[in-house]
Amino acid sequence: MNPTLKQLAGEVRDGRDDQVAQPLAARHDLLRQLDLWVARGWLRALDRAFVAFLVELQPQADPRVLLAAALTSHQLGHGHVCLDLEATLGAPDAALSLPPEGDEGRDVLLPSQLLHGVRLDAWREALAASPLVEVVDERPGDPEPSETATSPLVLCAQRLYLRRYWRYELEIALALRERLGRQAPLAADLAPRLAALFAQAPTEDGQRVTDWQKLACALAARGYFSLITGGPGTGKTTTVVRLLGLLQAPAVAAGQPLRIRLAAPTGKAAARLSESIGQQVRALPLAEDVLQAIPAEVTTLHRLLGSRPDTRHFRHHRDNPLALDVLVVDEASMIDLEMMASLLDALPPQARLILLGDKDQLASVEAGAVLGDLCRDAEEGWYSAETRAWLQRVSGENWQGLREGSAQAHPLAQQTVMLRHSRRFGASSGIGRLARLVNRQQAGDARALLDSPPADLFDLRLRGERDAAFARLFVDGHPQAPGTPYGYRHYLQRLAEGRPAAGLALEDGAWERWAQSVLTAFDAFRLLCALRRGPWGVEGLNQRVAAELLRLGLIEADHGWYEGRPVLVTRNDYSLGLMNGDIGIALRLPERNDDGSLRFALRVAFPRNDGSGGVRFVLPSRLVEVDTVFAMTVHKSQGSEFAHTALVLPDALNPVLTKELVYTGITRARDWFSLVESLPGVFEEAVRRKVRRLSGLMLHLRPEREEQPPHAPGEQTELPF
Instruction: Classify the phi-psi angles of 327: left when phi > 0, otherwise alpha if psi is within -120 to 50, otherwise beta.
Output: beta
Q: Are 600 and 589 in contact (CB under 8 A)?
A: yes
H-helix segments, 135-266: 163-180, 190-197, 212-222, 236-253
Which region among 248-252, 418-422, 521-525 has the lowest average model confidence (pLDDT)? 418-422
pLDDT for residue 99: 61
Q: Average pLDDT of the chain?
A: 83
CA–CA dist 45, 26 (Å, integer): 21
pLDDT for residue 203: 76
Phi, psi of 98 (to 5 degrees): -125, 130
pLDDT tens digits along 544-594: 999 999 999 999 988 899 999 999 988 777 778 787 778 899 999 888 777
Assess whether the previous peptide bond of 99 is cis (omega < 30° from 0).
yes
The predicted model gives 51-68 an average pLDDT of 92
Phi, psi of 84 (to 5 degrees): -90, 110
Q: What is the DSSP letter of 166?
A: H
pLDDT for residue 425: 67
* CA 578 to mean position of chain CA atoms: 19
Q: What is the DSSP letter of 359?
A: T
CA–CA dist 259, 323 (Å, integer): 8
Classified as helix, coil or strand, 87 is helix
Residue partners of 57: CB distance under 8 A and separation at least 6: 132, 152
The predicted model gives 603-622 an average pLDDT of 80
Judged against a pLDDT cut of 80, whether residue 426 lies above it is answered with: no
pLDDT tens digits along 124-171: 999 999 999 999 876 545 555 555 578 899 998 888 999 998 999 888
Instruction: Classify the phi-psi angles of 39: left when phi > 0, otherwise alpha if psi is within -120 to 50, otherwise beta.
Output: alpha
pLDDT tens digits along 614-634: 788 899 999 888 999 999 999
Strand partners, 578: 573
The predicted model gives 357-368 an average pLDDT of 76
pLDDT for residue 146: 58
Judged against a pLDDT cut of 90, whether residue 104 lies above it is answered with: no
Judged against a pLDDT cut of 80, whether residue 524 lies above it is answered with: yes
pLDDT tens digits along 310-348: 677 888 889 899 999 999 998 888 888 898 999 999 999
pLDDT for residue 624: 84
Classified as helix, coil or strand, 383 is strand
Q: Are 240 and 442 in contact (CB under 8 A)?
A: no
pLDDT for residue 23: 77
Between residues 639 and 477, the one the model is more confident about: 477
Residue partners of 261: CB distance under 8 A and separation at least 6: 295, 299, 304, 322, 324, 326, 327, 328
